Structure 1
């Protein structure tokens, strides 16, 4: 009996329901379960089909049309005679949307985004649309570095098939990159490879102070820059794979792993050059092939190749030469055949050069810096060089150059220079300064950069106090016969009251002048030669042993021509200087070498005869393997040589000053000291008067004719923290060694006024010190704190130590 009932129900069900297939003889369609959707909208949707006795209705198409309206969640179909019955279940209608956990600015953005994904008030609610909205939003957050965003959706349902939505956002702090691991970089250091990645910081203390945000939009651009870096260096088969690894549960810290497959480097094996009617000489082609063949196919090689070609054609007056390169790759041998095609333009000559706005300066001065001349081949590089050299004179605020074709000649051009004068060519100032040994000085400065409207630089400096007057004048003049050569003349007059002269100095340079010729700076090198004269007064107010020994080297004729209290030494000399400097500096980071060689030779008709040589090297070497740690090596050597009976003048001695280095000793606190000599009358019992010689050691350092100074600094990389107070912070350690001695010093002294010899030892020590320093760029400028301690010798007075110092350098 039970089986019969089940069979009857199944038959009844199949008689009233239909499947989504084609159906015939349907005259009416009935829709049940509609509450919020207008029936007119449903009819408009169904009007696509027409119904009559002969019409075959596609039920699947009707269901698809209704579902496409996004009004219905489910649709069931059934048939009763000639009527198709559609039972629908509507999506609930959104009555209200509230967003919690975001500010007003983001609230507007979220509302626009919800409308974009059709989640609107008084519209149907489809959970599928909301999931798409959240996936898009999550991806947008991740692109900005937020990997731990949380979103909760609360749905409040009502009996009338309406809902109220509450969207709750929880934004965690931005995710940070903790470490970047790189694998496969066989030919470049990690620092070199990652220098184009904005997320990477080269600070040694990175991960302790400042974590970098994980911005994947920028990171993808950085990876593209990393890819281009390898392409520029000739690795054309480079492949980069990146994988991220979360090691924290809250996704706040992320490890990045970059796998690099560098591949092989490509080299230029053959080169074919279009000589273009013989304009390229055989020597030029040979020189090009010499450095291009077997060179890596990289950006530097290609750019240098194009530059050489353009320069050679610019010298021929050919402007806008196009260098077309075509490369053929051989992936088996990793070689490249390079084809160079030349597209040459017309050749031009200089017809006339005109100046405008140069009333404030002599045209002869301008001609010194103009390297294009009439009927010469037009070379735009020479115009650039002229403007560059003219700007270096600091006389021009703006220089405009216009090149026009000549009206009556197709192959000639006229060059027009338009000058605008710089307003601050003259400077007058009055200030005060303090110098050790001279006290407070009133300083007057007059600087005229365009003296007599000839481009000459005149500088007058006057230093004055109650017992000292010093006048210095220098004139800098460009030479017209030699391009970029300068002639510099100096003169000084010094007036000092003898009672104010320090005992260990015992000299006063009264007058002097010199003239120097400076070569232009070529490839970071320059050279100068100086000829001059100095007049020096020797004072015997407080004689010391070195002074008396120096005077003993003069002949009796010298003392006959001079007063005993006014000994004058006249010296004519020649100086020479070589300077090489390729140091590049940015903030605290320096790289390069500075070598300086100085010499001073007195001429035979001078009262002295000596040769003074000074050599210094300043080198900054960054250690690429250890982040940005830099080693600063400093070495200076000085010697004073004499011949025959002459003795090196004590006032030309080398003394210790550490302007460019750090040390644990104060300035002028190293080397031989002054031992003063004094006679006194001794009245004995037999009424005979005897002269007794006394020697008084002092703490006055007078230097020596030999000096060796070495200094090594190890500087940590720059650290950018607390930008409002410390823009750039750096620390380091140093080791300093200095030795100054006098080769003229002997262990016995025999002078005219001393009948007996006296044994005096020479202090020949190597002064060692070590310490640490910190410095930063603050809102007040660069500040350096140094803490040092002496290592040798141990018996030095604290007065000569420099344990703690502050410099605004």
Structure 2
């Protein structure tokens, strides 16, 4: 740009010399030399009009104005009998931009980057812009560790004063981090310090994560993580003296050296409280996670400040200010803290504003709010409200802000912004095995019908194994106090003749069920259901003797009045992206006396989430189930527990574990146990994308039957593998690949399983 202005200035100076003549009145203006530019464009930029007096000053201004447009590389003014003649030479336009040899990036994205640098098709060609664009392109490759990249730029003149620009890219090989050295560490081993780094040397997965490629931003973040590591372990005077990054002459290997000064480890001497203490000092001290004699930790100090701030926020002090002032004793290597507390003014909530709910009604969200308009502000109520809205599972994201009301000192607003997701779904489930091929199932559901928060599910499954026709309805606020009500009407036809893993029998069950759910508190609820059903049984050839005995005893048609009672506790931090907390569920089903079937089944499952880091979450899940008959009757064989498949032990065919008959068909059992260990983490390179989550897992489980099983059928079965869950634009997709660990002869394996749903 500076070059362009210098040229324009030189032109103006030359023009000033050439126009050292008598001024004249402009009778007409003509433009010569234009090919693409309209004459009207020149007239618009020209500061001289017909009838004006053109002197040296206006002539210089005219030339300067036309140069400033960037359209022209030469401008001359001539006069002939009162006619002003503007003679221009246009700059060429960019007709096309081609990029050859680019593999690391998509060409469209590279062109978008060039456009941001000022270089794009149809724009005026500027050599300085070309140089800038070339550097920008090179910078893109440097950010990916392509330090050996070479970019050759050529411009080709075309007809009608146009040019074509070609970028020839030789990407070269990606430079890798070969060594990271930390110099000056004595208190901790280097490998422990490097565990806090994102950057690392090449490993098993770095080809995918790209963590072995140097990035200035990543190194800065790693150095801050290193500082945090030391500060959380008492090294208050820790400092990073320098960091050097060197690359070998062949641009292939990168070496990073970090020089640090650890400083001594400090312990906490005492804790004091000062300022306006609105709460009892004893209560405040319980919120402070540091005590006399403890090794100093910045993390626990920050947590203490937050706990005090949140506690004051529960009493309406939304703008409380808590500062921890340190008093350092370098000789004793001790540090004391004085917590200065300024609660500020107590504030109340003026209005609650809800945005983003284009489909969901306001009342559906507002009834989950625990913070009310006109009430004193409460941090815990705000957080609880956000969590309850999140658990509705109607939204991809829930954000809550509490801005102060302008021109007031004691009022705030609560702004709840939601991002809706598709809550209606046509679900398709599928599994594949060598013996059965592809198994399909489907259902139609709407979790938030007409934006009312009510749930409707219509299942029509016409698979060759399961035929299910059911209608379910749930009103989560059957009463205004949060009591839920709902019903289920169903017809289930089970045909196992095509399943070589399950004993051969058919059942046709028709029934209905009414449900009521009662919330006990914010996390706990109890649900009670009572129904009636009729089951028609048809035994196939070679049926097990116990099935034949059951039909002989009860007949081919049985009636049942099932009573169900369940208790559920949900303490997760989020239903959208769970990282901590747990869920528990106890479910009991019993066939009421006075009809054909009298039995009971009890099951318990517990899922526990623990954040291993900002990225990884550990999930532990356990399930136990037990069933039997009473009043001298037995547990119906079609009420048995089963295990195996993508909801229990992956890698084994659905419902195939446990006792089997002489034809190797699963019989099920009255005892079931399943355990899962899973590590959840985001897709590498997509940490902030909550639509995709990966996991590695270890599953184990089986069922036991009262009749016993052959030795090769007994015992737990285990599998390990990887899974991915993706909330795609087409619907939720779950895929798992599992490898059985201790499978025995006769086990039915199914290593690959997936489930896909089409949302609307």
TM range (shorter): 0.5 to 0.7
**Are residues 197 and 430 of structure 1, via their aligned partners in 2, closer, same or farther at CA, if it must alter by over 3 Å?**
closer
Cα shift at 1:298: 3.1
Pair member with larger Rg: 1
Cα shift at 1:328: 0.6
Matched, 1:668 2:655: yes
**1:574 alignment counterpart:** 565
Among candidates 658, 671, 674, match of residue 645 of structure 2: 658
**2:527 alignment counterpart:** 529
Q: Give deviations 1:616-652, integer Å, cap 9, x for gaps.
A: 566789999xxx9999876543322445523222222
**2:194 alignment counterpart:** 194
Matched, 1:647 2:638: no
Q: Give deviations 1:750-791, integer Å, cap 9, x for gaps.
A: xxxxxxxxxxx8667336767775778999988655555765
**1:473 alignment counterpart:** 472
Among candidates 737, 748, 754, match of residue 801 of structure 1: 748
Among candidates 587, 590, 593, match of residue 602 of structure 1: 590
CA distance in 2 between partners of 1:213 and 1:430 (Å): 41
SS at match of 1:575: strand
Give the conservation status (yes or no) of the 8 Å contact 1:353–1:416.
yes
**1:614 alignment counterpart:** 603
Cα shift at 1:513: 1.1
Matched, 1:447 2:451: no
Cα shift at 1:320: 1.8
Q: Give deviations 1:334-392, integer Å, cap 9, x for gaps.
A: 32221222333333456787999999988875663343457632446645654664465
CA distance in 2 between partners of 1:413 and 1:303 (Å): 27
Give the conservation status (yes or no) of the 8 Å contact 1:575–1:599.
yes
**Are residues 788 and 440 of structure 1, via their aligned partners in 2, closer, same or farther at CA, if it must alter by over 3 Å?**
closer
**1:327 alignment counterpart:** 326
Matched, 1:299 2:246: no
Give the conservation status (yes or no) of the 8 Å contact 1:178–1:207.
no
Among candidates 473, 476, 488, match of residue 491 of structure 1: 488
CA distance in 1 between partners of 2:182 and 2:323 (Å): 37
**2:67 alignment counterpart:** none
CA distance in 2 between partners of 1:487 and 1:412 (Å): 38
Matched, 1:346 2:294: no
Q: Give deviations 1:487-525, integer Å, cap 9, x for gaps.
A: 252312216599999974443331131425275996xx6
Cα RMSD of the aligned pairs, angstroms, is 6.2
Give the conservation status (yes or no) of the 8 Å contact 1:738–1:766.
no
**Are residues 403 and 443 of structure 1, via their aligned partners in 2, closer, same or farther at CA, if it must alter by over 3 Å?**
same
SS at match of 2:486: strand
CA distance in 1 between partners of 2:680 and 2:363 (Å): 50
CA distance in 2 between partners of 1:193 and 1:430 (Å): 47
Among candidates 713, 719, 729, match of residue 765 of structure 1: 713
**Are residues 579 and 187 of structure 1, via their aligned partners in 2, closer, same or farther at CA, if it must alter by over 3 Å?**
farther
Cα shift at 1:653: 1.0
Cα shift at 1:663: 5.4
SS at match of 2:448: strand
Any unmatched runs of 5+ in structure 2? Answer: 1-116, 118-126, 133-140, 150-169, 687-691
Give the conservation status (yes or no) of the 8 Å contact 1:787–1:805.
no
**1:267 alignment counterpart:** 267
CA distance in 1 between partners of 2:446 and 2:245 (Å): 64
Pairing of 1:204-219 with structure 2 (within 5 A)? 204=204, 212-213=212-213, 219=219
CA distance in 2 between partners of 1:312 and 1:405 (Å): 22
Cα shift at 1:178: 0.8
Cα shift at 1:655: 1.2
CA distance in 1 between partners of 2:496 and 2:568 (Å): 36
Pairing of 1:384-533 with structure 2 (within 5 A)? 385-386=384-385, 389-390=388-389, 393=392, 413=411, 427=424, 445=444, 447=446, 449-450=448-449, 455-463=453-461, 468=467, 470-478=469-477, 482=481, 485=482, 487-494=484-491, 496=493, 504-517=504-517, 519=519, 527-533=525-531
SS at match of 1:658: coil
SS at match of 1:274: strand
**2:88 alignment counterpart:** none
Cα shift at 1:703: 0.5
Give the conservation status (yes or no) of the 8 Å contact 1:462–1:472.
no
SS at match of 1:300: helix
Q: Give deviations 1:137-166, integer Å, cap 9, x for gaps.
A: xxxx999999999xxxxxxxxxxxxxxxxx
CA distance in 1 between partners of 2:175 and 2:412 (Å): 62
Give the conservation status (yes or no) of the 8 Å contact 2:493–2:506.
no
**2:166 alignment counterpart:** none
Higher mean alpha-carbon deviation, 597-606 vs 651-660, is at 597-606
Give the conservation status (yes or no) of the 8 Å contact 1:142–1:216.
no
Give the conservation status (yes or no) of the 8 Å contact 1:585–1:591.
no
CA distance in 1 between partners of 2:224 and 2:752 (Å): 48
Q: Give deviations 1:527-580, integer Å, cap 9, x for gaps.
A: 54333324132425557432354468x7xxxx7xxxx54332332232334566
Q: Give deviations 1:257-292, integer Å, cap 9, x for gaps.
A: 55655344333332222252x522244234235755
Pairing of 1:89-100 with structure 2 (within 5 A)? none
SS at match of 2:658: coil
**Are residues 526 and 400 of structure 1, via their aligned partners in 2, closer, same or farther at CA, if it must alter by over 3 Å?**
closer
**Are residues 431 and 231 of structure 1, via their aligned partners in 2, closer, same or farther at CA, if it must alter by over 3 Å?**
closer
CA distance in 1 between partners of 2:538 and 2:639 (Å): 17
SS at match of 1:539: strand
Give the conservation status (yes or no) of the 8 Å contact 1:741–1:764.
no
CA distance in 2 between partners of 1:605 and 1:376 (Å): 52
CA distance in 1 between partners of 2:493 and 2:425 (Å): 25
Pairing of 1:730-809 with structure 2 (within 5 A)? 738-743=701-706, 745=707, 765-766=713-714, 785-786=737-738, 788=740, 791-792=743-744, 794=745, 796=746, 801-802=748-749, 805=752, 807=754
Cα shift at 1:477: 1.5
Give the conservation status (yes or no) of the 8 Å contact 2:488–2:512.
yes
Give the conservation status (yes or no) of the 8 Å contact 2:360–2:448.
no
Give the conservation status (yes or no) of the 8 Å contact 1:596–1:616.
yes
CA distance in 1 between partners of 2:269 and 2:616 (Å): 39
Pairing of 1:246-285 with structure 2 (within 5 A)? 252-256=252-256, 258=258, 262-274=262-274, 276=276, 279-285=278-284
Q: Give deviations 1:74-125, integer Å, cap 9, x for gaps.
A: xxxxxxxxxxxxxxxxxxxxxxxxxxxxxxx9xx99xx99xxxxxxxxxxxx
**2:56 alignment counterpart:** none
CA distance in 1 between partners of 2:222 and 2:348 (Å): 47
CA distance in 2 between partners of 1:383 and 1:629 (Å): 27
CA distance in 1 between partners of 2:508 and 2:712 (Å): 28
CA distance in 2 between partners of 1:148 and 1:435 (Å): 46
Cα shift at 1:670: 2.8
CA distance in 2 between partners of 1:242 and 1:399 (Å): 40
**Are residues 311 and 602 of structure 1, via their aligned partners in 2, closer, same or farther at CA, if it must alter by over 3 Å?**
same
Give the conservation status (yes or no) of the 8 Å contact 1:365–1:480.
no
CA distance in 1 between partners of 2:364 and 2:261 (Å): 59
CA distance in 2 between partners of 1:198 and 1:493 (Å): 53
**1:376 alignment counterpart:** 375
TM-score relative to the length of structure 1: 0.55
**Are residues 411 and 389 of structure 1, via their aligned partners in 2, closer, same or farther at CA, if it must alter by over 3 Å?**
same
**2:160 alignment counterpart:** none
Cα shift at 1:323: 1.9
SS at match of 2:331: coil
CA distance in 1 between partners of 2:365 and 2:606 (Å): 37
